[in-house]
Structure 1
Amino acid sequence: MRKLRAGKHLGCVAVLMTSCTATPSSAPDISASTEAAPSWTTVWFEDFNGDTLDRSRWTPEESCWGGGNNERQCYTDRPANIEVSDGILKLKARKEEFTAAVNHPNNKTEALVTQQYTSGKISTHKSAAWKYGKFSARMKLPAGQGTWPAFWMMPVDAKYGPWPLSGELDIMEAVNLGTPCPDCPTGVEVRTSGAAHFGDREPDNTYLFSKTSGLEPGSPAEEWRVYALEWGEGRLQWMVDGKVFMRLIADDWYTAAPQAEGRDFAPFDQPFYIMLNLAVGGNLAEKSNSGGFDPASFPAELQVDWVKVETCDGDEATGLACLDDQEWTGTPMGPWEVQAR
Structure 2
Amino acid sequence: MPHHPPPQGSRVYWQPQFLPHVDVSHEWDAKTGHGTDGWGNHELQNYTDQPQNAFHTQDGRLVLRAVANHSASDADQKYTSARLVSKQTLAHDRGVLSAVILSPCAEGIWPAFWLLPQEPFVWPTDGEIDIAETWNGDAENHSCLHWGQHDQPDRHRIRGTRIPDMRQRPVQYDFVWEQPGGEAGRGRMIWYIDGRPVMKATVPAGTRPLRDMTVLLNVAMGGNVCQGKVPREGAYDMVVYAMSMAHEMENGGWGRFEYDWGHPAVREGDTY
> CA RMSD for the aligned pairs?
2.7
Match of 1:44 in 2: 14
Match of 2:267 in 1: 330
Match of 1:162 in 2: 122
Q: What's the offset of the Cα at 1:294?
A: 3.8
2:33 to 49, 53, 63: 63
Q: What's the offset of the Cα at 1:267?
A: 3.6
Distance, in Å, in 2 between the alignment partners of 1:239 and 1:297 is 33
Residues 197/40 of structure 1: CA separation in 2 closer, same or farther (3 Å cut): farther
State yes or no: 1:304 paired with 2:216: no
Distance, in Å, in 2 between the alignment partners of 1:324 and 1:301 is 36
Higher gyration radius (CA): 1
Whichever residue aligns with residue 215 of structure 2, its letter is I
- Given that residues 147 and 297 in structure 1 are in contact (C-alpha distance below 8 angstroms), is that contact kept between their aligned partners in structure 2? no
Distance, in Å, in 2 between the alignment partners of 1:128 and 1:333 is 27
Distance, in Å, in 2 between the alignment partners of 1:98 and 1:135 is 41
Distance, in Å, in 1 between the alignment partners of 2:158 and 2:31 is 26
Match of 1:275 in 2: 216
- SS at the partner of 2:225? helix
Give ranges in structure 1 of 5+ residues lacking alignment.
1-38, 100-112, 178-188, 256-265, 287-291, 314-318, 336-341
Residues 52/240 of structure 1: CA separation in 2 closer, same or farther (3 Å cut): same
1:285 to 226, 245, 255: 226
- Given that residues 40 and 322 in structure 1 are in contact (C-alpha distance below 8 angstroms), is that contact kept between their aligned partners in structure 2? no
Residues 270/42 of structure 1: CA separation in 2 closer, same or farther (3 Å cut): closer
- SS at the partner of 2:49? coil
Match of 1:198 in 2: 147
Distance, in Å, in 1 between the alignment partners of 2:258 and 2:73 is 45
Residues 236/297 of structure 1: CA separation in 2 closer, same or farther (3 Å cut): farther
TM-score w.r.t. structure 1 length?
0.65
1:241-280 matches, cutoff 5 A? 241-250=194-203, 253-255=204-206, 266-280=207-221
Whichever residue aligns with residue 134 of structure 2, its letter is A
1:267-309 deviations in Å (ceiling 9; x for gaps): 44441111111111121122xxxxx414326421111111110
1:118-267 matches, cutoff 5 A? 118-124=80-86, 126-131=87-92, 132-157=94-119, 162-177=122-137, 189-200=138-149, 202-204=150-152, 206-212=155-161, 214=162, 216=163, 218-233=164-179, 234-250=187-203, 253-255=204-206, 266-267=207-208
Distance, in Å, in 1 between the alignment partners of 2:60 and 2:76 is 33
- Given that residues 201 and 268 in structure 2 are in contact (C-alpha distance below 8 angstroms), is that contact kept between their aligned partners in structure 1? no
- Given that residues 133 and 232 in structure 1 are in contact (C-alpha distance below 8 angstroms), is that contact kept between their aligned partners in structure 2? yes
Aligned residues: 244
Whichever residue aligns with residue 73 of structure 1, its letter is Q
Whichever residue aligns with residue 87 of structure 1, its letter is G
Residues 320/283 of structure 1: CA separation in 2 closer, same or farther (3 Å cut): farther
1:139-159 deviations in Å (ceiling 9; x for gaps): 10101111111111111155x
Residues 56/296 of structure 1: CA separation in 2 closer, same or farther (3 Å cut): closer
